[in-house]
Structure 1
């Protein structure tokens, strides 16, 4: 069994990188897509940097975008997060800033080649100010485009899709209207924060929108455009609108067809060989009350396989039934080859905010590892009907905070945590929101968030960083809102969502308090980890704390407590996992086989982004965007930093 798995992994690894015209021994090994390959494995065959020499890494070059200066006169710096992962093709690094500006720099030196500013109006009401990157068309290895010049595709915060000439940075006039497609036309006030999927001559793009303001939000449609002309090829609405639409019967109530969202704001994966794209959908609107959309809500909170050439749904797998917890599918579906019963099976791995990992057959959506429907608590909110069961992976470990325990850095802090938790409702996983206030664990930041997973085909390890943070959700009857504001001082400080069109306003906070340290956690550590699942064994291989949140001079044990984290990890054939993400502002490398820390350096600003690596002129580089995350309070900046061996 081990020998057969090793052979299939090696064959897959060789064929994957042969498709892109790259081998570890070539002078140039690119990183041509957000997750390196279109299926988001985030694995590199490079091993020049390895466990024996990673401690010698030094800064090769630093590039600054001037982004903070760009925010002057706006409040963009209150929401901005530099979450981009650069791509590298033809010796050039391409990336976007939170305001959707695009830069091309020399991959060897960091010297600027060109920049493009789409002139996003930053004073408009934007839910997020971020961009996770750009896409390249045609995809590396795709010969169907002929001699057409390479294009860089940037979706913008104000709902545009722009095609730029990769050599000059100028808009391609033949694409859309003068290089631009208006994604808001016929849809409404949407943004796009993730790079589109590229599959042949088709570009597939989702959308991002604010949460919890009303139940009839914009439609979360997914659209495909011709990569050459920008013409619309197809669109797909995850919410069934007519009785003839599949799954219509699972959306119940007279207002169900008016529900919005269930959009795909994260990364869409592509399988050109099978003509499939894999779309991660989210919660219908609003996130925390589903009385206007009773039922299972098919296609929301799902991984949906769509035929790229036609827009027809091939299969759909739902990770949460009738979501009332903001459990979006935030992570990119990860496409890989799975060894089962002596055969290599095309698979997709799905990591969720609940800390669940599902392994599905890529062609059918059928689980390759068992999934169980388990009973979960009922809702006591008038008008709400929580789904009686939810899907759980039956054999794989559950990640994230599954059972919160009160904690404090001092006895007084622990007592306060115990008192707060005792005042709230908690009935285990999928505890519904309540009038009293409910502990939701894992919370809406995960588990596994947009940071996603990476896969090392040589070891068979699926690696992900994990948040262990509980949310507190309270529903306030709209008729009693004025009274609640007067009597609840915390309400003025917490996140609120009006959820217009429903009987309830949502209040969201988290199980932490504020003290002289900033965040004072109220649940037991670790609060953030890096974990590896051995898919050959179906077991947790290792899990280690990731980063720290408290001052190590006052709390020496803080490095064992981990940190809330945003930004993913990558794996390399050098036996290393590279990840930043934590709130302490460090970039780290861990040993793939056992999770031991091999290297760490401070970044010039927060590293809430996924790194990447490439080889140019025989030298391997590791690159990360370091620009911080305003909403979680890490240091803002405008840096892209490259590391190399001396």
Structure 2
């Protein structure tokens, strides 16, 4: 059999019968109430909540390691960016891991490996723009079989680095031969660029890190393309969403995120821009309401991230929340969060479905957070905003050829929950000297509110635009369906956005790409697209022009430019649209704690800048730190922290040898509650680590 279709499945030990499974036809609250974790975020509402309460504030510090599972041998080299969140169904964990993106089944109580499945995709996998292990899998079981007490047809679905949808038997890890072509569907076959030109089936650039979504016996898969900082062409692969029959693999519908002629929104791509623009993928988790028969798409930026002169117009459905009919893929409603996107805001989190009560009125709501640290809330059936969202004037671009939108949408509540833009009030103020240095450095950069546009970099003018970055990224938030409180992790760092013409025509056909006069134009390969099992040695960073400076980001004496906290956890009452509390998340980084300019100062915990996800239980919010520091245990590592979900009080912490890199989840087996989290980074390779109370 050809290399691209070779697979490896190893089953270890006895198959102990089929699991009870989770039936289809779930309601909004279905998912974790029986102690399982059957969906990436716990349920199709993407709430990342479990009602388990064995682990509490009183005993969190007593947690011990139940088991660990290293992913080093799931590929040709170890992985140092394990971002998965496992599922737990019927006493088994299902997860992806390793540079081959292998799927594993583990005993939930012991971590013992039961089976492993991996695909060898050759060149197709090696050129993928979305490599490594991805975020996990989806689970489905036959509701009809459950209702008649027959054998359960449990299946695991995942997307390979080479963009195939694979269906596995949950008991054995073998491909389900009745699904698609011997167990898989070629997702690339529907992908196009330009004016409906098919991409190359091997080298065409499209992939996905997110898991499929399974709702009402339909498997829904998004798409992701190469990151757009320095793309070679604006005519990149176009985003799309595909849906398949869960049993047969038959394609049911396709939704074009860049509308074609005759489709709704096509007119927002002026001057034929739809035919020469790519990206606009759906790279995060897709939420679903099976009762309403709707799915909710978080849609990303078009090519390129910071320049859109080649695509005049608002560019629907870029950076929009889109509700589709689950059965047909038809658009029911949409809301564009950013018009004519040039800030790389994407929609970086999964939509969260919430049943709330506002002024005595019950509302089936959906909310979305993101890098701009605002919460946009809608009636999830109609798309009407829960609270008014105002179109407000924003700064305009002076980059040649760029045509920015005159206004952008701003929610009136809840208020922003972290830094937006850069002002002097937000600058570092540990000492007057540091504040003065920050103000001096700031003079060479263009700053302003949240939608301050990028600039053409100029030594005699603005080196770059300078803005806060981070916000809430791909791990997303968590929602407590009992208290109606949303928990929003966020972080703040600074980013400089400058534009320069490409150094040569072969580098890019876009008039302006990211770069600046100090460091030049750089092509920087990322771990997500250059470190897979099939990939040759990592590509070197290419630098064109510049003065030789290592960075264009000013840091006063090497310290962060803004005031702390640099990492936060915010609790938001979704019934009222009000912030209840905020706390700094993460110990103060060593480079700040030990900085000579701060010697003798009482610097409170600053929190840590990094994207981490939160888990909400009956009484706690659980989050790991995104950085390694010298911990309170006296050992370098990171802490898995617990907060009282009502007050934000830090009520416990346990040691981890590396930072949290995937969102935590929890489940109960044989009367014991476990918390499992992916850790990795630096020199520490990927590992799933399970905690429990002493037996």
TM-score tier (shorter): 0.7 to 0.9
Q: Which of 666, 673, 676 is residue 620 of structure 1 equivalent to?
A: 673
C-alpha contact 2:677 2:689 (8 A) present in aligned 1: yes
**CA deviation map 1:160-219 (0-9, x unaligned):** 111111010111111111111111224132111000110111100001211220211111
Instruction: Indicate yes or no: 2:644 matched with 1:644.
Output: no
Instruction: Indicate yes or no: 2:451 matched with 1:430.
Output: yes
Q: Distance in 1 between matches of 2:171 and 2:46?
A: 25
C-alpha contact 2:455 2:465 (8 A) present in aligned 1: no
Instruction: Indicate yes or no: 2:123 matched with 1:94.
Output: no
Q: Distance in 1 between matches of 2:296 and 2:147?
A: 22
Identify the residue that residue 651 of structure 2 maps to in structure 1: 598
Instruction: Indicate yes or no: 2:75 matched with 1:70.
Output: yes
C-alpha contact 2:614 2:621 (8 A) present in aligned 1: yes
Change (3 A) 1:383 1:183: same
Instruction: Indicate yes or no: 2:160 matched with 1:156.
Output: yes
Q: Distance in 2 between matches of 1:345 and 1:141?
A: 32
C-alpha contact 1:346 1:362 (8 A) present in aligned 2: yes
**1:339 Cα deviation from its structure 2 partner:** 0.7
Identify the residue that residue 575 of structure 2 maps to in structure 1: 536
Instruction: Indicate yes or no: 2:138 matched with 1:135.
Output: yes
C-alpha contact 2:500 2:514 (8 A) present in aligned 1: no
Deviates more, 1:119-128 or 1:448-457: 119-128
Q: Which of 165, 168, 171 is residue 167 of structure 1 equivalent to?
A: 171
Unaligned runs of at least 5 residues, structure 1: 1-14, 498-504, 629-633
**CA deviation map 1:298-333 (0-9, x unaligned):** 211011111111110111111111100001001010
Identify the residue that residue 218 of structure 2 maps to in structure 1: 202
Q: Distance in 1 between matches of 2:640 and 2:144?
A: 32
C-alpha contact 2:674 2:691 (8 A) present in aligned 1: yes
Q: Distance in 1 between matches of 2:516 and 2:275?
A: 36
Q: Distance in 2 between matches of 1:403 and 1:594?
A: 28
Mapping of residues 420-499 of structure 1, within 5 Å = 420-435=441-456, 436-439=462-465, 441-443=467-469, 446-478=470-502, 488-491=517-520
C-alpha contact 2:288 2:295 (8 A) present in aligned 1: yes
Q: Which of 557, 571, 579 is residue 623 of structure 2 equivalent to?
A: 579
**1:421 Cα deviation from its structure 2 partner:** 2.1
Identify the residue that residue 61 of structure 1 maps to in structure 2: 67
C-alpha contact 1:139 1:199 (8 A) present in aligned 2: no
Instruction: Report the TM-score when normalising by structure 2.
Output: 0.80
C-alpha contact 2:347 2:370 (8 A) present in aligned 1: yes
Change (3 A) 1:638 1:563: same
Q: Distance in 2 between matches of 1:486 and 1:34?
A: 36
| RMSD across aligned positions (CA) | 3.1
Q: Distance in 2 between matches of 1:423 and 1:304?
A: 40
**1:148 Cα deviation from its structure 2 partner:** 5.3
Identify the residue that residue 300 of structure 1 maps to in structure 2: 318
C-alpha contact 1:325 1:440 (8 A) present in aligned 2: no
Q: Distance in 2 between matches of 1:40 and 1:95?
A: 17
Mapping of residues 255-334 of structure 1, within 5 Å = 255-334=273-352
Change (3 A) 1:419 1:125: farther
Q: Distance in 2 between matches of 1:29 and 1:85?
A: 16
Instruction: Indicate yes or no: 2:566 matched with 1:563.
Output: no
**1:455 Cα deviation from its structure 2 partner:** 0.8
Change (3 A) 1:616 1:419: same
**CA deviation map 1:462-516 (0-9, x unaligned):** 101101123211111347999x99994522678599xxxxxxx99997746598x
**1:134 Cα deviation from its structure 2 partner:** 0.5
Change (3 A) 1:369 1:147: farther
C-alpha contact 2:142 2:154 (8 A) present in aligned 1: no
Identify the residue that residue 531 of structure 2 maps to in structure 1: none
SS at match of 2:270: coil
C-alpha contact 1:400 1:442 (8 A) present in aligned 2: no
C-alpha contact 1:250 1:297 (8 A) present in aligned 2: yes
C-alpha contact 1:431 1:438 (8 A) present in aligned 2: no
Identify the residue that residue 5 of structure 1 maps to in structure 2: none
Q: Distance in 2 between matches of 1:551 and 1:544?
A: 21
Change (3 A) 1:579 1:36: same
C-alpha contact 1:305 1:313 (8 A) present in aligned 2: yes
SS at match of 2:288: strand
Instruction: Report the TM-score when normalising by structure 1.
Output: 0.86
SS at match of 2:611: coil
C-alpha contact 1:355 1:442 (8 A) present in aligned 2: no
Unaligned runs of at least 5 residues, structure 2: 1-25, 192-203, 457-461, 508-512, 527-543, 596-600, 629-637
Q: Distance in 2 between matches of 1:351 and 1:88?
A: 27
Change (3 A) 1:384 1:488: closer
SS at match of 2:188: coil
**CA deviation map 1:377-402 (0-9, x unaligned):** 01101111111111111021102321
**CA deviation map 1:521-553 (0-9, x unaligned):** 222221111111122332211111111323576
Change (3 A) 1:97 1:587: same
